[in-house]
Amino acid sequence: MPNGSYALIDYKTGQASVSAWLGERPDDPQLPLYAVNAGENVSAVAFAKLRTGEMRFDGLARNADLLPRVRGVDTHNAARKHAASWDELVAGWRAELDALGQAFAAGDSRVVPKHLLKTCERCDLQPLCGA
């Protein structure tokens, strides 16, 4: 980036949502995981959506306009519900992803649907589920 920081970009041809990065147990943690482990000053994460008739970025950044049409955490409606700043967002990702990794490493393999019945609609493993 012009300010010397880095942007992490994941190219997508299908559906992808910034909201999937937010809250407990992120649905799509790939870019947040890269951001917290980059070892560099990351100031934006984004999907580059590549579809016929629609090519654009969708993501979050420390400040608005680091990438075209990518809003800062403080101006993104969904992100503002979870963090007041980029640093707070990344700290939240780190805490959540560390907790998930520690649970996995400790052998915690409970089936706990995040969205309860909505999750169960697409799952064939109901006999294993405690929900």
In contact, 10 and 30? CB cutoff 8 Å: yes
What is d(CA 72, CA 79) in angstroms, rounded to the nearest whole number? 9
Res 13: pLDDT: 84
Cα separations in angstroms, 49 against 103, 115, 130: 32, 26, 37
Question: 85: which residues sit within 8 A by CB, 6+ positions away?
Answer: 73, 74
- Partners of 55 in beta bridges: 50
Q: In this predicted model, which residue has the larger pLDDT, 15 or 116?
A: 15
Predicted structure pTM score: 0.83
Q: Is pLDDT at 12 greater than 90 in this prediction?
A: no
Separation of alpha carbons 78 and 56, rounded Å? 19
Residue 125 pLDDT > 80: no
B/e letters for 7-28, b = 16+ CB within 10 Å, e = fewer, are bbbeebeeebebebbbeeebeb
Give the model confidence (pLDDT) of 70-111 as tens digits: 999 999 999 999 999 999 999 999 999 999 999 999 998 777
Residue 113 CB neighbour total at 10 angstroms: 16
